[in-house]
Amino acid sequence: MNRKVTLFAIIALLPFALLVVGFLMLPLFAMIHDSFLAADGRTYTLEQYIAALTSPYYSKGIVNSLKISLYSSFIGMVIAFVVSYSITRMSKKIQNFMITFSNLTSNFSGVPLAFAFIILLGNSGLFTLLFKEWGWSMTDAFSLYSWSGLVLVYVYFQVPLAILLLYPAYSGIHKQWRESAALLGASNLQFWTRIGIPVLLPSIVGTFSILFANAMGAYATAYALVGSNYNLLTIRIGSLIAGDVATQPQLGSALAVILGLMMVAAMWINERLMQRFRRDLR
Amino acid sequence: MKNKKWLSLLIVSATLIYLVLPLAATFMYSIAKEWSHTVLPISYTLDWYKELFTDLRFLSAVGRTLTVSVIALVASVVTMSVTVFVVYMYLPKLERYLQAITMIPFAVPGVVAAVGLIKVYSSGPIVLSGTIWILVGAYYVLIIPYMYQGIRNSLRTIDARRLMEAAEILGASKMKAFSRIIVPNIMNGIIISALLSFSILIGEFVMANFLVGGSYETIQMYLMRRLNENGHLSSAIVIAYFVIVLMISWLMLKLGTRFNQKEVNKENAA
């Protein structure tokens, strides 16, 4: 009987296991293995990691990716913090509508999103023309195809996601708390700094780490906007494995491992902080 | 506090406008006939849509996206529902590991996944590079987290353990109980996760671009190539894509409320 059950379980789990091993585990291990090889593909070495971290070209890409992820996550977070709160003060109908709508627009990323922003703010975009008509040339101060443009587009895809993740947390703040705090003489600001934000903190940290990972791994948006010109970690990896110039899969693997480690680190920090906050709350 | 309600309303409206604006502009562009030096289009037309839907290249791109997504989805629905069910029912000790495995794709961005897949399947015993099977495999992995969550949650809500027990006491075999009792009951949950996964897959660009490249043009790749050639046509693609996502979301919402409704009815009846 027992053996029969084991056999049955193995047969049932086999297809899933094969697919996961074949298309998830094996590729990940192969990539990690590859990252420790020299360009000849045979000798073991750390030179790929040294190159990735010391070459100004690649380290700049890593720093740029970190920067844009931190900026866009932070701005997206601040916007979502205010907006989610405002949403909770609307009628139930508007609340549902806004959440459904955020859910919908959170699908709006990558190539289509880049394209929509080109229509709005590109060289002959809607606003670019509008401002020109008003007499100011926007191109002096802002270009969609530069750093500031990229931050703007990244923030756009972070906001709906951040609203979706943060909004449920507000249900943890009860109306009575605000009333009691007000009765005891706390100002609005005091309520938020002493009660509101500490209660929301685990959700804020959790949302931030997801936004951060989301931005770190983004490729299509930046690629559609500026091609391979912009120095981001994902773009660099892309051109190393399938570029116009000679490909360097080993270096690409090393950069991919670095990116993967950053994602894991973001998740890990989130996990740790959550535990600490929960202990404090107890 | 009440007097500040207008501020909240203002913020919510501003957010709505902010989120709508890029979409609205794309829509305007897709129905504009002439629009180059004015704020609003001079004249409107539906020709871009007509051109798009008679373009064989676009239609075959749609066909390719559907082919890859549907194969990956069917494989996922079949293997994942069996796996999640067996682990949930008979191997609860493995549940932690299964959950950990299903989280990995979250931490692996498309470009990283592509690096490993290219490495394994461009040479060696099995060469899949450039074929649709490497993309099917990649998509299968990509949607694992969503499928797992959906199936797992439905099994929990219907209390699958007790249902199986009841069916077996009444003389059904394990296979029969699974296919006749469990599957129909979690079908709604499976469909919702499959729809969510589908909307993710039709928007996927990175892996399609790296893994099959020029040999298998999907909707997103077609859009990418058309981007600099014809803006109006590209915006028609974006809107068409978005209408599909909208329909999927609507369907998910409907199915979701029907599912919840059933739960509520059950509770009321109990």
Nearest residue on chain A to B133, alpha-carbon basis: A23
Q: Are the C-beta atoms of A22 and B137 separated by less than 8 Å?
A: yes
| pLDDT, position A232 | 93
Q: What is the DSSP letter of B38?
A: S
Q: Are the C-beta atoms of B45 and B32 separated by less than 8 Å?
A: yes
Q: Is the full-model pTM beyond 0.90?
A: no
- The mean pLDDT value for B197-222 works out to 90
Q: Give me chain A's average pLDDT, please.
A: 87
Q: What is the ipTM of this complex?
A: 0.86
CB atoms within 10 A of CB A165: 21
Band of residue A282 on the pLDDT scale cut at 50, 70, 90? very low
For residue A130, with 0-12 CB atoms within 10 Å meaning exposed, 13-18 middle and 19 or more buried, which class applies? Answer: middle
Q: Spell out which residues of chain B touch residue A159, defining contact as CB-CB under 8 Å.
A: 15, 18-19
Residue A152 structure tokens: 């703007």
Q: Are the C-beta atoms of B53 and B237 separated by less than 8 Å?
A: no
C-beta atoms of A159 and B249 within 8 A: no
Q: Give me chain B's average pLDDT, please.
A: 87
Residue B228 structure tokens: 């600099």
pLDDT digits (tens, 9 = 90+) for B85-106: 999 988 889 999 999 999 899 8
Q: Are the C-beta atoms of B85 and A195 separated by less than 8 Å?
A: no
Res B245 pLDDT > 50: yes
C-beta atoms of B19 and A216 within 8 A: no
| pLDDT, position A270 | 78
C-beta atoms of A110 and B203 within 8 A: yes
Distance in angstroms (rounded) separating the CA atoms of residues B261 and B267: 10
A263 CA: distance to closest CA in chain B (Å): 6
Sign of torsion over alpha carbons B201, B156, B84, A29: positive
Task: Choose the closest CB to B210 out of A102, A111, A238.
Answer: A238
Distance in angstroms (rounded) separating the CA atoms of residues B73 and B197: 8
Residues 6+ apart with CB under 8 A from B83: A12, A13, A15, A16, B98
| pLDDT, position A267 | 85
Band of residue A124 on the pLDDT scale cut at 50, 70, 90? confident
Task: Choose the closest CB to A9 out of B18, B90, B199.
Answer: B90
B49 CA: distance to closest CA in chain A (Å): 16
A255: nearest Cα among A11, A40, A1, A54: A54
Three-state SS for B90-106 is HCHHHHHHHHHHHHHHH
C-beta atoms of A267 and B107 within 8 A: yes
**Among A214-223, B36-45, B179-188, the least confident range:** B36-45
Residue B94 structure tokens: 């493995």
CA distances (Å), origin B105, targets A55, B11, B102, B112, B141: 29, 35, 7, 10, 7
Residue A91 φ/ψ region, left for φ over 0, alpha for ψ in the -120 to 50 degree band, beta for the rest:
beta
Residue A68 structure tokens: 């844009």
Band of residue B1 on the pLDDT scale cut at 50, 70, 90? very low
- The mean pLDDT value for B111-134 works out to 87
C-beta atoms of B26 and A119 within 8 A: yes
3-state SS, residue A37 = strand
Distance in angstroms (rounded) separating the CA atoms of residues B252 and B111: 29
B82: nearest Cα among A25, A24, A17: A17
C-beta atoms of A252 and B115 within 8 A: yes
> Which amino acid belongs to residue B116?
G
Q: Return phi, psi of residue A86, to 5°.
A: -60, -40
Nearest residue on chain B to A257, alpha-carbon basis: B112
Nearest residue on chain A to B83, alpha-carbon basis: A13
Nearest residue on chain B to A28, alpha-carbon basis: B116
Res A158 pLDDT > 90: yes
